[in-house]
């Protein structure tokens, strides 16, 4: 009888522990009432994906985190505009809607970046293809050895030439495979990077977007979607923009011919935008996609390139819309717009971006509960006198099911 009573008492005692634990986690001291929920640092896990036989998995070493952690790239400068290095997690404070949050994540300026190099290869490009390629190749040499780069070009289609890798040979080969063609699916290219690649990658990320900003052929996305999605992502966007309005008008009047590609045997990768297996540079045997013709048929059996002599992407209003799009993209993500209307300016823009990427910290916090799609204000402060902090000033709450 005594043993039976002892068992009952033990069972009742054990049944009380979950309630006690829940009560403790749901309350806090008065000093913590204004801070975000404290949660342990995320545990990185690899996210496998199906891989065809003989194909290298481009994400075999990418760490992904299933969490709502909000991370913010931060650049700290002194009064002379020089980067302030050597800061630690305790030097930073984060405020969401004017309420201080716990800094739950910190990455210093030494940690590697994943960079998406996104190149506009439409006929309207004001640069020759060798000028674009040389500037991009030089940019890669200015990154740190452990930085990863993925190379995407776009015309009427989106071409994934290289998945994220630190292998400089693969990156360089991808860059020299770029080819000028017709059409400009800018919004589809940005959508692919943001929603199909960077949303799966943890750590410091940046998009270097070389374009005039005028879209003529996107089918899967539009500019407002791009801006919304970029504001939800913890990645910097650096547009390098150039003005092609005069060139496009000259082509329209027949005063200037469209650029031509040099003769080469390089293969162009042209995977489908939605669905299907995307070949990688690690599987040469899986590059069956032909170079798209990028033309539309007109009356009398003639063909004209999409976006050139078709009326699309030729008006001043479209160019003004493009400028607003690129400016907003940089502002929402904490990046910066560079203008490049000459080969010299193009190389200088790439060089400055490479330099800036070595000067960012990343900090993060777990946000308070909020409705997905709601915009929250951000403020980052540094406990150092006489410094300026450059970081995004807001973010959009992501749905919880986004990984």
Pair 100, 165 in one domain: no
258 pLDDT band (50/70/90 cuts)? low
Higher-confidence position of 311 and 365: 365
User: Is residue 238 located within the same domain as residue 125?
Assistant: yes
| 3-state helix/strand/coil string of the chain | CHHHHHHHHHHHHHHHHHHHHHHHHCCCCHHHCCCCCCCCCCCCEECCCCCCCCCCCCCCCCEECCCCCEEEEEEEECCCCCECCCCCHHHEEEEECCEEECCCEEECCCCCEEEEEEEECECCCCCCHHHHHHHHHHHHHCCCCCCEEEEEEECCCEEEEEEEECCHHHHHHHHHCCCCECCCCHHHHHHHHHHHHHHHCCCEEEEEEEECCCCCCCCCCCHHHHHHHHHHCCCEEEEEECCCHHHHHHHHCCCCCCCCCCCCCCCCCCCCCCCCCCCCCCCHHHCCCCCCCCEEECHHHCEEECCCCCCCCCCHHHHHHHHHHHHHHHHHHCCCCEECCCHHHHHHHHHHHHHHHCCCEEEEECCCCCCCCCEEEEEEEECCCCCEEEECCEEECCCCCCC
Q: Which segment of 269-273, 285-289, 334-338, 339-343 scores lowest on mean pLDDT?
A: 285-289
- Asked if residue 274 and residue 336 are part of one domain, the reply reads yes
What is the predicted pLDDT for the residue at 299? 32
288: in domain = yes
224 in the same domain as 335: yes
Tell whether 346 and 283 lie within a shared domain.
yes
Output the pLDDT for position 313: 65
Say yes or no: 390 and 291 in one domain. Answer: no
| The model's pTM | 0.68
Number of compact structural domains in the chain: 2
pLDDT tops 80 at residue 162: yes
- With a cut of 50, say whether residue 114 has pLDDT above it: yes
Q: Where is average pLDDT lowest: 81-95, 156-170, 321-335, 367-381?
A: 367-381
> Is residue 135 within 8 Å of 350, Cβ to Cβ?
yes
- In this structure, are 197 and 334 located in the same domain? yes
Residues 145, 101: one domain?
no
Q: Which residue has the higher pLDDT, 265 or 241?
A: 241
Note whether 386 and 295 are same-domain residues. no
Stretch 236-248: mean pLDDT, rounded? 85
State the residue range of the domain holding 92. Answer: 70-109+360-396
Among the ranges given (81-90, 103-112, 121-130, 288-297), the one the predictor scored with the smallest mean pLDDT: 288-297
Quick one: pLDDT at residue 52?
37
Is it the case that residue 401 has pLDDT exceeding 80?
no
Q: Report residue 244's pLDDT band, with 50, 70 and 90 as the boundaries.
A: confident
Share of residues in the chain with pLDDT > 90 (%): 47
Give residue 211's pLDDT: 93
- Check whether residue 264 and residue 334 sit in a common domain: yes
Q: Is residue 3 part of a domain?
A: no
Q: Which domain CATH number covers 270?
A: 3.40.50.410
Q: Same structural domain for residues 158 and 86?
A: no
- pLDDT at residue 392 tops 70: yes
Tell whether 9 is covered by a domain.
no
Q: Of 192 and 52, which is predicted with more confidence?
A: 192
Asked if residue 49 is part of any domain, the answer here is no
pLDDT tens digits, one per residue of 136-147: 999 999 999 999
Q: Does 223 lie in the same domain as 80?
A: no
Average pLDDT score over residue span 261-285: 34
Task: Compare 143 and 254 and report the one with higher pLDDT.
Answer: 143
Mean pLDDT within 307-329: 78
Flag whether 64 is in a domain.
Answer: no
Report whether pLDDT(369) > 60.
Answer: yes
Residue 343: what pLDDT?
86
Mean pLDDT, to the nearest integer, of 172-195?
94
Q: How confident is the model at residue 304 (pLDDT cuts 50, 70, 90)?
A: very low
């Amino acid at each position: 009888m005594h043993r039976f009573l002892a068992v009952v008492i033990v069972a009742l005692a054990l049944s009380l522990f979950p309630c006690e634990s829940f009560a403790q986690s749901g309350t806090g001291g008065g000093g913590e009432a204004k801070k975000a929920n404290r949660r342990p640092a995320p545990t990185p896990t690899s996210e496998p994906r199906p891989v065809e036989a003989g194909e290298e998995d481009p994400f075999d070493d990418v760490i992904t985190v299933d969490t709502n952690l909000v991370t913010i790239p931060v650049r700290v400068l002194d009064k002379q505009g020089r980067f302030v290095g050597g800061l630690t997690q305790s030097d930073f404070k984060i405020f969401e809607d004017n309420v201080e949050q716990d800094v739950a994540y910190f990455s210093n300026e030494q940690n590697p970046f994943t960079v998406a190099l996104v190149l506009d290869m439409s006929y309207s490009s004001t640069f020759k293809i060798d000028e674009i390629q040389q500037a991009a190749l030089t940019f890669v040499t200015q990154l740190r050895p452990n930085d990863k780069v993925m190379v995407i070009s776009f015309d009427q289609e989106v071409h994934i030439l290289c998945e994220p890798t630190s292998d400089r040979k693969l990156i360089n080969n991808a860059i020299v495979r770029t080819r000028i063609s017709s059409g400009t699916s800018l919004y589809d290219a940005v959508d692919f990077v943001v929603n199909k690649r960077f949303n799966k990658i943890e750590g410091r990320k940046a998009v270097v977007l070389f374009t005039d900003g005028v879209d003529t052929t996107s089918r899967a996305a539009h500019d407002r979607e791009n801006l919304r999605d970029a504001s939800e992502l913890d990645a910097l966007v650096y547009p390098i923009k150039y003005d092609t309005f005069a060139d496009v008008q000259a082509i329209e009047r027949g005063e200037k011919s469209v650029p031509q590609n040099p003769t080469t045997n390089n293969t162009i990768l042209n995977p489908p935008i939605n669905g299907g297996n995307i070949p990688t540079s690690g599987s040469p045997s899986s590059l069956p996609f032909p170079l798209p013709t990028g033309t539309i048929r007109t009356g009398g059996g003639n063909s004209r390139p999409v976006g050139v002599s078709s009326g699309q992407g030729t008006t001043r209003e479209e160019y003004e819309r493009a400028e607003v799009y690129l400016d907003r993209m940089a502002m929402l993500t904490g990046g910066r717009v560079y203008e490049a209307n000459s080969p010299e300016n193009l190389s200088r823009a790439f060089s400055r971006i490479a330099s800036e990427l070595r000067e960012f910290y990343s900090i993060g916090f777990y946000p308070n509960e909020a409705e997905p799609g709601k915009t929250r204000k951000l403020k980052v402060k540094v406990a150092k006198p006489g410094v300026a902090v450059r970081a995004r000033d807001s973010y959009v709450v992501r749905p919880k099911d986004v990984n």
